[in-house]
């Protein structure tokens, strides 16, 4: 065989192998035996070794060709990766539908009362009669796996990433290439970004756990943990042995066939999008259904409550999307999730335990939250000893008492909650709980405030209790802890215990006081030597330069979380300060912008509730809170003081200057007793080098620092395949 003949044979083998891969792994309709497939593969492998000049990254033999990595690289997603809000019963589903319909009507009214750009005029023509459009839903199974984002250029797979925090994920291209159902080359030469779920079958989990048991390794708790642990293996060969699978369900972007979700695109519905994914060569879960009403959605949901356990993959609910992509485009997103879809979760895993006590926590907004202290119990893979009781109405609704045997549930990483009480097990010794009339921290008055929770005409309201003392120690302390946290000013070394001491001594009482601290203020305090005092003051000095979104988040304004702060920062120039905006700011300076803290003090109080609410993604409650906060003279005085102490608003790039990146973007969990340093000191070292701290192990964890007598966190890290290190290895990471 000469070179020309070898090249032709190689090309034909690649096409034939890929054709059989698609038939076996995507269509589940194998055309040849496994032995015959292996024979073709071995021939191709042999020819490629003999003629390396014809090697190709898209060859089937290259799915497991990459060398082991030292660490996963962080990648910024082209499109924000959202997660759906959850509902757990039919009443919540109906409430979501009603809310969605009201939003459609509101959008129609808004477009009737403003001047449009040409693209908005096209959109308006498409949504002109939204209120009369017959709404349909595309229902898809919610696979319990690991979200993945695949990027193709000219039809060739070039990158694969995990979701991460929705903005930044990890580059796991080599591992995703090992998934046989993921095409290396599409059926069309398009540029595309698609989203799907990586999962492991129940049968494969049994095989893996059997092998791990024989080898004396900790077994995986479930298929999701196994899939996540496999994708996060630094060696692709390990991932390849796990035989992962995939379902693709969404297109973020596609060029070459027509821009999806863009006006004029060829794909008009979610069902058509799924069909397009099939044509491109992706594996799509075929058990989706177009439903004409919420009643049909409920029937689909109920039909799968039993069938789900008979599948070879885990299903934890269904995802409901408005089928019309015109409606999807019109509704858009909140700061956290799409408005046009919802996840209808199957009943969460539940266990029973005993309520040993009920205590009240006071948050930074002043809200009093009753928390059940439980007899420790394992649920959804972790040991829990606390569960939220939400508020007084919830306690009365389920009639929970101290000493009761209760059913608790935990879905994913959310805080456990008490579902119901097993009243037949009562002994008569149980004690009723009553919300305090005075704040348990400051002794101030407590007010019960009604909160709308749906249809108020039907009496669907709940209530929260608030401490009326704005100077309550717990409230002020909570605000300051939030203010200096990693997502805010990120002041390394100024932890909860130090803030409490500084407040107790009367050294600080508000945000501005922090930036006026001197070494002499700290040295008299116990355990504050001159060197540690200097380091903290230096850390405070470095924190004075901050980006607008981090600054807004740090202020702790009610209903203004991290996502909302980012939306505001992005909208300042493009919307609020844009003369063509629906509600432009009236200013004598036509070039007004946000370049320093003084600009915030000058401009933000001028922004009305309507203007805040007009920013895409900002809800009514957030708008009210923003307008209220920036109209408060005391708050503005604090901002002016901070400006006088040198706090500056700068661009995100400037904010990162001069910082170390040895642990940049890595998330650590600490467990066990450390001997060479305390946990707080370890946390400070991690944050100083750009790392993050988490209190619980999850698929988002990069590394677990384990000391002596490490417990369940270490076990979970091993189950997920997460890297575990000791103190010496940790110090080495900081030095390298």
State the catalytic residues. 142
Q: Which two tokens stand for residue 730?
A: 């940790």
Q: Which two tokens stand for residue 551?
A: 């600054």
- Alpha-carbon distance of 188 to 235, in angstroms, equals 31
Torsion angle, alpha carbons of 360, 363, 365, 370, to 10: -30
As to burial, measured by CB atoms within 10 angstroms (0-12 exposed, 13-18 middle, 19+ buried), residue 535 is middle
- Alpha-carbon distance of 501 to 396, in angstroms, equals 38
Q: Which two tokens stand for residue 712?
A: 């369940």
- Alpha-carbon distance of 239 to 176, in angstroms, equals 8
- Nearest CA to 433 among 488, 408, 458, 396? 396
Q: Which two tokens stand for residue 225?
A: 């943990």
Q: State the pairing for strand pair 446-452/461-467.
A: antiparallel
C-alpha dist (Å) from residue 332 to 105, 250, 616, 619, 639: 14, 15, 8, 12, 33
Buried b (16+ CB within 10 A) or exposed e, 167-182: eebbbbbbbbbbbbbb
Q: Which two tokens stand for residue 547?
A: 């980006």
Helices (H) then strands (E): counts for the chain: 27, 24
Taking phi first (over 0 means left), then psi (-120 to 50 degrees means alpha), and beta for anything else, what does residue 724 get?
beta
**Tokens 């076990």, located at residue:** 715
DSSP 253: E
| Residues whose CB is less than 8 angstroms from the CB of residue 11 and which lie 6 or more positions away in sequence, other chains included | none
Count CB-CB contacts under 10 A for residue 71. 11
Q: Which two tokens stand for residue 596?
A: 């320093």
């Amino acid at each position: 065989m000469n070179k020309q003949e070898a090249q032709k044979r190689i090309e034909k083998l690649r096409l034939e192998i890929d054709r059989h891969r698609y038939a076996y792994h995507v269509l589940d309709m194998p055309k040849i035996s496994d032995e015959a497939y292996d024979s073709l593969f071995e021939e191709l492998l042999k020819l490629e070794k003999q003629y390396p000049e014809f090697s190709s990254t898209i060859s089937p033999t290259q799915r497991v060709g990459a060398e082991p990595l030292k660490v996963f690289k962080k990648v910024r997603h082209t499109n924000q990766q959202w997660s759906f809000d959850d509902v757990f019963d039919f009443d919540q589903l109906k409430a979501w539908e009603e809310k969605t319909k009201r939003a459609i009507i509101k959008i129609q009214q808004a477009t009737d009362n403003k001047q449009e750009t040409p693209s908005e005029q096209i959109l308006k023509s498409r949504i002109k009669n939204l209120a009369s459009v017959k709404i349909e839903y595309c229902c898809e199974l919610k696979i319990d796996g690991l979200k993945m984002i695949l990027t193709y250029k000219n039809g060739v797979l070039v990158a694969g990433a995990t979701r991460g925090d929705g903005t930044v994920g990890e580059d796991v291209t080599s591992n995703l290439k090992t998934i046989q159902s993921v095409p290396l080359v599409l059926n069309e030469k398009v540029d595309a970004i698609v989203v799907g779920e990586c999962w492991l079958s129940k049968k494969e989990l049994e095989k893996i756990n059997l092998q791990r048991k024989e080898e004396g390794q900790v077994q995986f708790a479930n298929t999701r943990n196994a899939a996540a642990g496999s994708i996060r293996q630094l060696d692709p060969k390990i991932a390849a042995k796990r035989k992962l699978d995939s379902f693709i369900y969404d297109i973020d972007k596609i060029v070459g066939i027509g821009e999806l979700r863009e006006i004029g695109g060829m794909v008009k519905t979610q069902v058509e999008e799924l069909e397009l994914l099939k044509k491109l060569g992706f594996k799509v879960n075929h058990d989706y259904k177009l439903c004409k009403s919420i009643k049909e959605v409920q029937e689909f949901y109920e039909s799968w409550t039993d069938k789900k356990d008979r599948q070879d993959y885990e299903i934890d609910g269904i995802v409901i999307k408005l089928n019309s992509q015109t409606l999807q485009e019109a509704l858009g997103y909140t700061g956290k999730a799409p408005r046009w879809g919802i996840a209808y979760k199957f009943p969460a895993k539940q266990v029973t335990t005993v309520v040993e006590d009920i205590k009240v926590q006071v948050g930074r907004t002043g809200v009093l939250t009753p928390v059940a202290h439980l007899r420790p119990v394992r649920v959804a893979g972790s040991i829990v000893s606390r569960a939220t009781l939400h508020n007084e109405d919830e306690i009365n609704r389920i009639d929970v008492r101290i000493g009761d045997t209760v059913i608790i549930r935990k879905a994913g990483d959310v805080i456990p909650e008490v579902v119901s009480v097993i009243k037949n097990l009562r002994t008569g010794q149980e004690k009723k709980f009553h919300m305090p009339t005075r704040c348990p921290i400051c002794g101030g008055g407590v007010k019960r405030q009604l909160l709308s929770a749906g249809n108020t005409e039907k009496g669907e309201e709940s209530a929260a209790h608030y401490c009326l003392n704005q100077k309550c120690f717990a409230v002020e302390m909570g605000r300051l802890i939030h203010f200096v946290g990693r997502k805010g000013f990120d002041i390394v070394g100024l932890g909860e215990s130090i803030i409490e001491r500084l407040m107790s001594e009367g050294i600080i009482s508000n945000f501005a006081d922090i930036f006026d601290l001197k070494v002499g203020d700290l040295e008299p305090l116990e355990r504050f030597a001159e060197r540690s005092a200097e380091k903290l003051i230096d850390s405070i000095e470095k924190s004075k330069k901050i980006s607008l979104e981090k600054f807004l988040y740090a202020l702790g304004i009610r209903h203004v979380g991290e996502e909302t702060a980012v939306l505001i920062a992005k909208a300042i120039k493009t919307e609020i300060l844009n003369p063509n905006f629906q509600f432009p700011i009236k200013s004598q300076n036509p070039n007004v912008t946000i370049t320093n803290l003084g600009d915030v003090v000058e401009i933000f109080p001028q922004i009305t509730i309507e203007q805040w609410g007009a920013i895409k993604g900002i809800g009514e409650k957030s708008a009210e809170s923003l307008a209220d906060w920036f109209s408060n003279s005391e708050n503005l005085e604090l901002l002016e003081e901070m400006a006088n102490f040198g706090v500056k608003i700068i661009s995100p790039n400037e904010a990162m200057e001069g910082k170390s990146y040895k642990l940049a973007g890595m998330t650590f969990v600490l467990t066990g007793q450390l001997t060479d340093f305390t946990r707080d000191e370890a946390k400070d070292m991690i944050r100083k080098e750009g790392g993050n701290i988490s209190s619980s192990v999850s698929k988002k964890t990069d590394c677990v620092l384990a000391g002596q007598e490490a417990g369940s966190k270490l076990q979970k890290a091993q189950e997920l395949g997460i890297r575990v290190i000791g103190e010496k290895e940790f110090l080495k990471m900081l030095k390298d």
